[in-house]
Structure 1
């Protein structure tokens, strides 16, 4: 399906292409400018982020994983970067020059949060990836070729931007507004001794927003969770085990069509069942396919992109929701 091919990086948590996030062009001639890290994230051993000038980057482990080579090979490229007589260095620089890019160093070395970071700009990553895909002779890697075909052009940049929740166009500054509006109306969402699915779904909603979801009146994942959990509760007669659940008013912001019937009564559950709920959420709802079915329905309605659905399943499927 278009824009949603799987990118299999064995050593990382990057597996799916994200939706295109915008067309801002980054000037790649960074040299040794005084940069900082604007935003960063780690997925398994793969670190990625965006520099203060908008440049998306991968760390050394992430680039090595893309290319299907050992970490040390990427380090050697950095250490030999000024040695133009090295065939590998000359080939990579030639690839960069064809797209009008040149770098004094293939990575930017920065300190961030007390740690040293080796940040390889996306343009450099693609050049090195292309080298290992097609120009490395006997050292060409199948992984590199497969990943290059999926990440060529702006796709690697788009993937990094989406994974770390960065919008180069500046058009998603209020991405949390609708969710915050609901929180403001429902922060006291349950009586003492009870919990409400909406508040417990906050981690999932946050992950979805950061992955690129437009959380609003058409994408209300806590309704799906609440319906499935309510059915599970009834089928297992949890009233007799944990005590009776209760109805409690829930309100939607005025810009939601659901607000016409405010306040709405929704179920709240005894805190004694919270551990069981969280285990069910992870093992049954997310990993058991119900969350995937919900997203598939949204894709069919054209409300989310197929690539986002795959990214959300992959991201949340790895989460462990601890019991308190």
Structure 2
């Protein structure tokens, strides 16, 4: 069930799970199933310049009391929308963006189709009639290839299940699987499939194990130990559950994180991702965005006093 925007908990962070651009119309679906258009996408459908929409939305508390705003407010009420803002704040590819939910889109589109005093309302009328035959929700779902019955996408489900199965790492130790969570989340956001064929912790774990042995990790931090790791029952790897995986003394955690971002991600991770691109399981465009997203910059050296 999708709650009206004004009833959602304010601390809930909504992120795009699907984004597309078709015929210049940017649209997507948020993580709670809310379909949306961007300001530019909605402006194209209304046949107006997007700066007009942006100014109105950014000054909505004042605009809603003006003649245009009062008409749009009435149309919003007809759509069952009582929010204080015309858009939801979200993040796309690390940049804040504004998502105009479906009820807002229909109200504004109806205004520009039938109420606004503009010389050419043809685009708005055609698009309003197109959407009125079904709904903007169905329109965006279909264009984005989003199936609302599959509320949790498979990559998130796979990763969530592995997290829950392997949340008992003993005190005083850390696991590679848990420590690369941010990398895996970036992979999922970039539409890299996380499944039985894409197990990035295996690649990181092998490389870190070699580094540990080569640098005398046991002597420096204490011995690592084997610990059972479980795969979800629908993974072929589950046939040999539990798999014995290394866990490492927590005193080495800082060293691992530096190694991950200074060694593995710049040198080995691109090769791992390019293998996914060559196999056809990951788009090259997504790979480029992912490799940029996992980079970390070092702090500048402190100035000498």
Give 3-state SS (helix, strand or coil) of 1:289's partner.
Answer: helix
| Residue equivalent to 2:235 | 256
- Check if 1:48 corresponds to 2:97: yes
Q: CA deviation at 1:307?
A: 1.2
Alignment of structure 1 residues 1-324 onto 2, 5 Å: 21=20, 28-29=45-46, 36-41=86-91, 46-53=95-102, 100=123, 169-170=146-147, 173-175=151-153, 176-188=156-168, 190-286=169-265, 288-318=266-296
Off by >6 Å, runs of 4+ in structure 1: 22-25
Residue pair 2:174, 2:250 contacting (<8 A) in 1 also: yes
Question: Which one has more relative contact order, counting CA pairs under 8 Å at least 6 apart?
Answer: 1
Q: 1:54 to 1:221 in 2, by over 3 A?
A: farther
Q: For residues 256 and 316 of structure 1, what CA distance do their matches in structure 2 show?
A: 27
Q: 1:300 to 1:272 in 2, by over 3 A?
A: same
Cα RMSD of the aligned pairs, angstroms, is 3.8
- Residues 139-168 of structure 1, C-alpha deviations (whole Å, 9 max, x = no match): xxxxxxxxxxxxxxxxxxx9xxxxxxxx67
Residue pair 1:285, 1:291 contacting (<8 A) in 2 also: yes
Q: For residues 319 and 213 of structure 1, what CA distance do their matches in structure 2 show?
A: 24
Q: 1:320 to 1:221 in 2, by over 3 A?
A: farther
Residue pair 2:261, 2:296 contacting (<8 A) in 1 also: no
* TM-score under structure 2 length normalisation: 0.56
Q: For residues 89 and 161 of structure 2, what CA distance do their matches in structure 1 show?
A: 25
User: Which has the larger share of helix?
Assistant: 2
Residue pair 2:89, 2:99 contacting (<8 A) in 1 also: yes
Q: CA deviation at 1:209?
A: 1.5
Q: 1:185 to 1:279 in 2, by over 3 A?
A: same
Gaps of 5+ in 2: 1-17, 29-36, 47-52, 54-67, 106-115, 126-139, 300-305
Give 3-state SS (helix, strand or coil) of 1:219's partner.
Answer: coil
* TM-score under structure 1 length normalisation: 0.53
Q: For residues 194 and 173 of structure 1, what CA distance do their matches in structure 2 show?
A: 34
Q: CA deviation at 1:54?
A: 8.9
Q: For residues 170 and 214 of structure 1, what CA distance do their matches in structure 2 show?
A: 17
Q: 1:284 to 1:37 in 2, by over 3 A?
A: farther
Q: CA deviation at 1:199?
A: 0.8
